[in-house]
Amino acid sequence: MAKREPQAIHTNADVLMNTGPARLIGVLYTSGGGSLDHINFYDNTSASGTVRLELDTTKQGVVTWNLPEGGLIFTNGIYCDIGGATSVTAIIVQ
Rounded CA-CA distance 9/15 in Å is 10
Whole-number pLDDT of residue 79 = 98
Let me know if residue 14 belongs to a domain: yes
Ranges of residues in the chain with a pLDDT under 70 are 1-3, 33-35
Let me know if residue 45 belongs to a domain: yes
pLDDT in tens, 58-81: 778 888 888 888 899 999 999 999
Whole-number pLDDT of residue 3 = 67
Spatial contact of 87 and 32, defined as CB atoms under 8 Å apart = no
Q: Which domain holds residue 19?
A: 7-93
Cα Dmax for the chain: 46
Spatial contact of 26 and 66, defined as CB atoms under 8 Å apart = yes
- Three-class DSSP category at 49: coil
Whole-number pLDDT of residue 2 = 53
Q: How many domains does the chain have?
A: 1
Let me know if residue 2 belongs to a domain: no
CB atoms within 10 A of CB 49: 13
CATH of residue 39's domain is: 2.60.120
